[in-house]
């Protein structure tokens, strides 16, 4: 895959990139849970926005939740 920072990806490419199923990526896009836009009725994704989304998700998982801290 040619990795340009502003590269536009298809559902199939995003599924491979995230190692997820196509249906999962489609559902996330439809629900607005992943950065995406429609072009001619099909979902497209910007690589830079996906990378930012991944980084934010990793950061959110690393934060301790109130009342759930380890001693």
Task: Give the residue extent of every domain in the chain.
Answer: 8-58
Please report where in the chains the tokens 């009725």 appear, as a residue.
41
Residues 22 and 11: beta-carbon distance below 8 Å: yes
| pLDDT for res 65 | 58
pLDDT in the model for residue 6: 81
- The set of residues, in sequence order, having a beta carbon less than 8 Å from that of 10 and lying 6+ positions away, is 42, 43, 44, 45
pLDDT greater than 80 at residue 61: no
Q: What is the mean pLDDT of residues 12-33?
A: 97
Region of residue 28 (phi > 0: left; psi between -120 and 50: alpha; otherwise: beta): alpha
């Amino acid at each position: 895959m040619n990795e340009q920072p502003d590269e536009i990806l298809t559902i199939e490419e995003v599924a491979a990139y995230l190692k997820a199923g196509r249906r999962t990526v489609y559902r996330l896009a439809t629900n607005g849970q992943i950065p995406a836009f429609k072009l001619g009725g099909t979902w497209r994704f910007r690589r830079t926005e996906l990378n930012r989304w991944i980084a934010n998700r990793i950061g959110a998982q690393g934060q301790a939740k109130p009342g759930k801290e380890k001693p």
